[in-house]
Structure 1
Amino acid sequence: MTEPVSVAEEARQPFHRRLLRSQEGIVLALAVLAFAAFALLLPGFLSPGNLLVLVRSVSILGILALGMALVVIARGIDVSMIAIMVVSVSWAFVITRAGYPFELALLIGAGFALMTGMLIGALIAFGDVPPIFATLAAGSVIYGTGRTFFFTLEMQNVPPDTDWFSLIGQGSVLGIPVTIIAFAVLCGVFQLVLRHTRFGWMIYAMGNNPNAARMTGMPFRPMTVAQYAISAFVAYLAGLILASSAAAINARLFNSTMIYDILLVVVLGGIGLNGGHGSVRNVMLGTVFVGILLNGMTIMNIDYTIQNLVKGVVLLLAIVVDSLINPRDEQTSQQGDL
């Protein structure tokens, strides 16, 4: 078996070679082809308004994908993100209507998201529960707890007299929606953390070779807890932006295909499920491609069920391609990490 290419060695290689080594080049070509096809066949697709809507509509999905990407790079997965998002944001709105200051309620919601993320991380790190099962079960528990004890209505409206909050999802700066700016800022933060900090180096080391990471004395378990806490907090931020855009948060999102859309962005962008490689660039590429795909199908008025079928097929193909380009090593196959 060939030795995996280190992050530093990968970064020194020419960009076009890195594209050829992964599915990034394929996805980029498909995105360009899809964009060109929709531009030629669909009237109004190239209008500035539609292009702005396209980017804005997938910005929240891209933000969620950043949190998922961090976990996947470290050889994990988090399918509890949507449950954490809807419960923490909904509870913050309920607390506000109960008489608490809105800002305090938002802090309580953030605390709840961080706490649940840390508990999930601890379950995986100290209980040795496979991430897919831990997060799947935790998501159901979180959602059930929220609907039973925190709120009963599925739709929770943004509390009144919070005009500043509405600006997050509906405002713009120099004509650019704040939602897009928030996605760009978070991309910059994640790029800085992953590529230029010790924390980011340890994330890649965990995904590349977990046993070697443990042998070098890396705080493996605290790192696992930290990455799931970050993923949960990112989900909470995305939920706030979504609620601000729609003036409400709908708990039915938990039963939607949103978590699969997040995985579609991550895998389609080129972040391998066996961990150890990937970057913010992959998330941005996957987000743009999924945005083009969804926007084109919406303009063509394709039925929602058929859209889900198309997304499911694309996700399946992306996973197959990922398994061929980034084959699972013996360690991953034995442990069943995902």
Structure 2
Amino acid sequence: MTNTPRSRRLASRLLGSQEGIVFVLAATAFVVFALALPGFATPGNLVSLVRSVSVLGILALGMAIVVIGRGIDVAMIATMVVSVSWAFVIARTGYPLAEALVIGGAFALVAGILIGALIAYGDVPPIFATLAAGSIIYGLGRTFFFTLEMQNVPPGNDWFDFIGKSRVLGVPVTVIAFAVLCALAHFALTSTRFGWQTYAMGSNPNTARTTGVPMRAMVIAHYALSALVAYVAGLILASSASAINARLYNSTMIYDILLVIVLGGIGLNGGAGRIRNVVLGTIFVGILLNGMTILDVPFTIQNLVKGVVLLLAIVFDSLVNPRDEQTSQQGDL
């Protein structure tokens, strides 16, 4: 009898928030797939599941910081594929791969800074600024930096292959990298001035500006950080596949990132969300994609399912976190 009220309180907490609802849905999907699909719950498939969504989760970390600060970055994939592809092209001209990767990272950083400056000083809505910037970055890359869509990792760099293909104590390095980046992002958002200023400018930009938050510098920092995170994700992806494919720019990856963000419970209006929301959204999307893959669901149908789920999640987010007057005037989304 004493456990009944406690169970009800737990159920009320789980179903009383978007985060709790997503957790219940993820757990339900896991149980259903585990019972219905013979190979789903095997250790090998579960490790493969987590490993396959690690890159998506890393990209979602960069997006989460931007969204919490009341922005959005749909140029991430363009920055990722162009910077990594160009680094490999440079390496094949005779530069050591390590130096080429530094140059590629510098390109990603500069791209992020320029995007942030355009938004901070030009007052361009982030959705439009990053959409245009993504097209420009990709166009510049394909015109001046590389012509082939597929860029292979230069041979003779076994240390680079270790990142995406090796394991430490049985755990894939990609999963470890995702965990480390989650820990760093959590620390930055919860224990530093950068973190509380990010939440402040996302919750109420006018108040944040009045209290002395350097709004323009913070916006630039957010997009620079997002670009660097995208570059790191691209390196891990390229290490896993021994190549980077520029066609990813035209894929649904950016929508998958937004799906992770919104499903996890990070409000698109800014100022709300934690890194655990990114982890939760990544796990849920991973379970969903893995289950549909095992069921051999056609790619087109998978995109349809993801699109419907994303739309429902955005509608739910708009109901839970209604747009305020400041957001409507700013036109950020």
TM-score (norm 1): 0.95
Q: Secondary structure at the match of 1:249?
A: strand
1: CA distance, partners of 2:66 / 2:15 = 25
Q: 1:334 maps to what in 2?
A: 329
Contact preservation (8 Å) 2:81, 2:234: yes
Q: What residue number does 1:119 align with?
A: 114
Contact 2:14–2:24, Cα closer than 8 Å, also in 1: no
What residue ranges of structure 2 are gaps of 5+ in the alignment?
1-8
SS at match of 2:151: strand
Counterpart code for 1:145: L
- Deviation (angstroms), 1:200: 0.3
1:239 matches 2:256: no
Correspondent of 2:32 among 14, 31, 37:
37
Instruction: Give the superposition deviation at 1:112.
Output: 0.3
Correspondent of 2:183 among 162, 181, 188: 188
Residue 52 (str. 1) matches residue 60 (str. 2): no
DSSP-derived class of the 1:156 partner: strand
Among candidates 248, 251, 259, match of residue 253 of structure 1: 248
Counterpart Cα distance in 2 of 1:30 and 1:196: 31
Q: Structure 2 vs 1, CA of residues 18 and 326 (structure 1 numbering), >3 Å: closer, same or farther?
A: farther
Map of 1:267-306 to 2, 5 A cutoff?
267-306=262-301
Q: What secondary structure sits across from 2:268 in the alignment?
A: coil
Following TM superposition, by how much is the alpha carbon of 1:21 offset from its aligned partner in structure 2, in angstroms? 5.2
**How many Å separate the matches in 2 of 1:66 and 1:59?**
11
Please list, as runs of the form range in 1=range in 2, the aligned pairs for 1:5-24 lying within 5 A after superposition.
Answer: 22-24=17-19
The one-letter code matched in structure 2 to 1:293 is L
Q: Which stretches of structure 1, 4 residues or longer, exceed 2 Å deviation after superposition?
A: 14-22
Shift of 1:116: 0.2
Aligned counterparts, 1:198-237, within 5 A:
198-237=193-232
Q: Distance in 1 between matches of 2:287 and 2:258?
A: 16
Q: Partner residue of 2:98?
A: 103
Where structure 1 has 5 or more consecutive residues not aligned to the other structure, the ranges are 1-13
* 1:327 counterpart SS class: coil
Does the Cα contact within 8 Å between 2:71 and 2:270 map onto a contact in 1?
yes
Note the C-alpha offset of 1:22: 3.0
The amino acid of 1:242's aligned partner reads L
Q: CA deviation at 1:223?
A: 0.5
Amino-acid identity (%): 75
**Cα distance change on mapping 1:248 and 1:183 into 2, 3 Å:** same
In structure 2, distance between residues paired with 1:190 and 1:250: 27
1:15–1:130 CA distance, 2 compared to 1 (3 A)? farther
User: TM-score under structure 2 normalisation?
Assistant: 0.96
After superposition, give the CA deviation of every residue in 1:72-97 in whole Å (9 maximum; x if it has no partner).
00000000000000000000000000
Match of 1:130 in 2: 125
Pick closer, same or farther for the CA change 1:324–1:136 going to 2, 3 Å.
same
From 307, 324, 330, the counterpart of 1:312: 307
Deviations 1:240-273 (A, max 9, x none): 0000000000000000000000000000000000
Distance 1:72 1:195 in 2: 16
Q: CA deviation at 1:295?
A: 0.2
